[in-house]
Amino acid sequence: MPDQELLSTEPATGAVLWRHPIGDADTEVAIARASWAAWAARPLAVRIEALRRFANVVRQRADAFTDLLARETGKPLWEARTEVETVIAKVDISVTSYSERTGQRRIEAPMNTRLALRHKPHGVLAVLGPYNFPAHLPNGHIVPALLAGNAVVFKPSEKTPASGAFLVDCFHAAGIPEGCIRLLIGGPDQGKALASHPDIDGLLFTGSANTGIALNRQFAARPEKILALEMGGNNPIVVWNTPDLYSAAVLVVQSAFTTAGQRCTAARRLIVDEKLFEPLMAELNKLIGRLIIGEPHADPQPFMGPVIDNNTADMLTESFLTLSTMGGRPLRHMERLIENRPFLTPGMVDMTEAREKVDVELFGPILQVFRKASFEEAIAEANDTRYGLSASLVSQDPRLYDQFWANIRAGIVNWNKPTNGASSAAPFGGVGWSGNHRPSAYYAADYCAYPVVSSESEQARAAMGVGLRDA
């Protein structure tokens, strides 16, 4: 029946891409619960080999995976291909991270004592994935979780379920036990049922701040469960004291509009020296005017595709108008390129003189601009947010970068680089409303296993020299 089935449609065309019955959280968690102990008991070398087979399966299916990701998200083929490559690379990165951050080791101790540090898996971990990187981001949780010996129940976004199903099928094809990586298809109701399930040992989440905060409240009374929140950002890019305004414009465009602005690390706010404002805007407008916006398989390849769906496009259009009614001055109007399809052109609005500001993550190609007279004012503006994920400075002055790095409040701080494009070989996370101090990527190993310290001796030898009466 239609109400028991989830459909996925292509943003670029509106065509139905995939359909699947809605799943049941109780069933999937029970299967994972019955399977994880045997998987955890296998030697680490066996789990590593299984995950390397997974990487090979993805490599063999890379073209089909790329095509599916592009069709389901609307992102260009070149970007979907990069996402598949990141899924493959995650395995070796996770193996190195596991060894470095959660491996076994001996600790020096007093005579006749040895201390051993080992790590144990939590058990059954739930993973909730987002739609903007429906393979790469959940895979960043799943691979280290499986490597540590956990079983996983993965619920992909209801907007990109086909990509999640393809990913899980690759794990199964590699010989990872089907009971240890389960797929839960569904919408918000299934996500809530999974997150609140009494038989999960933790939740690994990537998504919006509002959802993450709700999960944080829900888990507040369950300290025995691990909760890793990877949320969004209201990220600043600051342009100050730089002669190469074309390069600055390129970095701003890459930061704000790659993936149609649908990245948690996308620049939402451009903060610029008021003396550079006019020439930088001229460069930005010329560059934005040259951007190709089109469907994933277009030739030549587009810079960006549509946003995820029409509802999102409507919301972003309304948000742009709201910024204007608050006193923002449109610098480049956002336009709907095709009626009833979610293709949007980048929009920019000068909020310097606005009556009020909104500290929200507008998840799309909208850039708010703020002109400032001093670098100290620029840093204060950059920090004027509840979020704290990513921040970037474009400047030729290393002293300004030292000041920026020391004073900016963010988990990722870049210099003459975009706000996005973070490496999986480094920790990824933020502060404030951007996360709960459990960075992912290279540090995902930290929340996929817990440390166990053992004081050990091969023989029981003990004596008491104080506090005893004479025999």
Contact 224, 202 (CB under 8 A): no
Residue 264 bears catalytic tag = yes
Give the whole-angstrom CA distance, residue 100 versus residue 443. 10
Give the whole-angstrom CA distance, residue 16 versus residue 407. 48
Helix (H) / strand (E) containing 26: helix 25-41
Q: Which amino acid does the sequence have at 16? A: V
Buried b (16+ CB within 10 A) or exposed e, 154-179: bbbbbbbbbbbbbbbebbeebebbeb
Ranges assigned E (strand) in 395-436: 412-415, 427-428
Contact 140, 440 (CB under 8 A): yes
235-239 and 440-441 as β-strands: parallel, antiparallel, unpaired? unpaired
Kindly give the interhelix angle for 375-382 and 398-407, rounded to the nearest 10 degrees: 40
Pick the catalytic residue: 79, 230, 361, 381?
230
DSSP reduced 3-state for 220 = coil
β partners of residue 450: 120
Q: Give me the residue label for tokens 């474009």.
A: 394
Pick the catalytic residue: 264, 283, 381, 448?
264
* Residue 320, both tokens: 């742009």
DSSP reduced 3-state for 326 = coil
Helix ranges restricted to H, 291-432: 310-325, 375-382, 398-407
* DSSP assignments along 231-292, one per residue: ----EEEEE-S-S-HHHHHHHHHHHHHGGGG-STT-EEEEEEETTTHHHHHHHHHHHHHH--
DSSP reduced 3-state for 112 = coil
Give the whole-angstrom CA distance, residue 264 versus residue 137. 11
Give the whole-angstrom CA distance, residue 409 versus residue 423. 19
Contact 75, 61 (CB under 8 A): no
Q: Residues near 90 by Cβ (< 8 Å), separated by ≥ 6?
A: 55, 136, 139, 140, 143, 424
Give the whole-angstrom CA distance, residue 392 versus residue 376. 15
Q: Which amino acid does the sequence have at 124? A: V
**Cis peptide upstream of residue 300 (ω within 30 degrees of 0):** yes
Q: Which amino acid does the sequence have at 282? A: A
**Residues forming the active site:** 230, 264
